[in-house]
């Protein structure tokens, strides 16, 4: 694998991550925010894979499995929370969820 491809992969990863960050901050729909978080996780996964190939080391690839597992668990819990909130608030706007303050 040539260094150029690694560079491209990392750039793609960066782009995906940036899109995720922007989405998290700019979108109001909590489902969208959630998807953007997933996007960021997968951007990181991509970077792991690329760098793992580049250095001929499997550690990065192993880590990806962990991230996928955690992401799955997070999705399960997160979606459950979203449904629960939606039942209470009848909206999916994140800005409506502001009772966590003193």
Partner 1 sequence: MAGHSQPEPDSSHAAAAHAPAAHGAGHGGGHGHPPEPGFAGSPWLVLAAWILLAAGGGLLLKSFPDALPFAILLLPLLGFTVLAVFGDAIRDQGEGTGACWLACFTVLTSFALAVTAVYRVMQFPGGETGLRFTQPYLGYEWIEAGPFRVQMNLLIDNLSSVMILVVTGVGSLIHLYSVGYMSHDPERVRYFSYLNLFTFFMLLLVLGGNLPLMFVGWEGVGLCSYLLIGFWFTKKSASDAGKKAFIVNRIGDVGLILGMILAFYHFGTLDLVDLVGNATAGTEEGLWQFGPITTICLLLFVGACGKSAQIPLHVWLPDAMEGPTPVSALIHAATMVTAGVYMVARLAALYSLSPTAMTVVAVVGTATAVLGATIALVQTDIKKVLAYSTVSQLGYMFLACGVGAFGVGVFHLFTHAFFKALLFLGSGSVIHALGGEQDMRKMGGLWRRIPWTFGTFVIGTLAIAGIPPLAGFWSKDEILAGAYSAGWKSLFVMGVIVALLTAFYMTRALILTFFGSYRGDAETGSHIHESPWIMLGPLVILAIGSATVGFVKIPQFVEPALRVSEGAHAAPHGQWLPIFATAVAVTGMVLGYYLYLAFPEIPSRIYASARGVARVLENKYGFDAVYDRFASRVVVGGSEEVLWRGVDVRLIDGAVNGAASLTAAIARSVRTVQVGRVRGYALVILGGAVAVLSYLLWPR
Binding stretches for partner 1 (CB under 8 A): 21, 24-25, 94-95, 97-102
Identify how many contiguous H helices and E strands the chain contains and give both numbers: 3, 0
To the nearest whole angstrom, how small is the minimum distance from the Cβ of residue 32 to partner 1? 12
Nearer to partner 1, 75 or 94 (CB): 94
To the nearest whole angstrom, how small is the minimum distance from the Cβ of residue 37 to partner 1? 10
To the nearest whole angstrom, how small is the minimum distance from the Cβ of residue 95 to partner 1? 6
58-96: b (≥16 Cβ within 10 Å) or e: eebeeebeeeeeebeeeeeebeeebeebeeeeeebebee
Nearer to partner 1, 21 or 35 (CB): 21
Rounded to whole angstroms, how far apart are CA atoms 92 and 86?
A: 6
Nearer to partner 1, 30 or 50 (CB): 30
């Amino acid at each position: 694998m040539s260094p150029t491809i690694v560079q491209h992969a990392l750039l793609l990863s960066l782009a995906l991550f940036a899109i995720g960050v922007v989405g998290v901050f700019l979108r109001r729909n909590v489902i969208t925010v959630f998807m953007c978080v997933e996007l960021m996780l997968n951007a990181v996964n991509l970077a792991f894979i690329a760098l793992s190939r580049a250095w001929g080391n499997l550690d990065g690839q192993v880590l990806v499995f962990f991230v996928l597992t955690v992401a799955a668990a997070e999705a399960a819990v997160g979606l459950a929370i979203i449904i629960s909130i939606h039942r209470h608030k009848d909206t999916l706007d994140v800005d409506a969820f502001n009772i966590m303050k003193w």
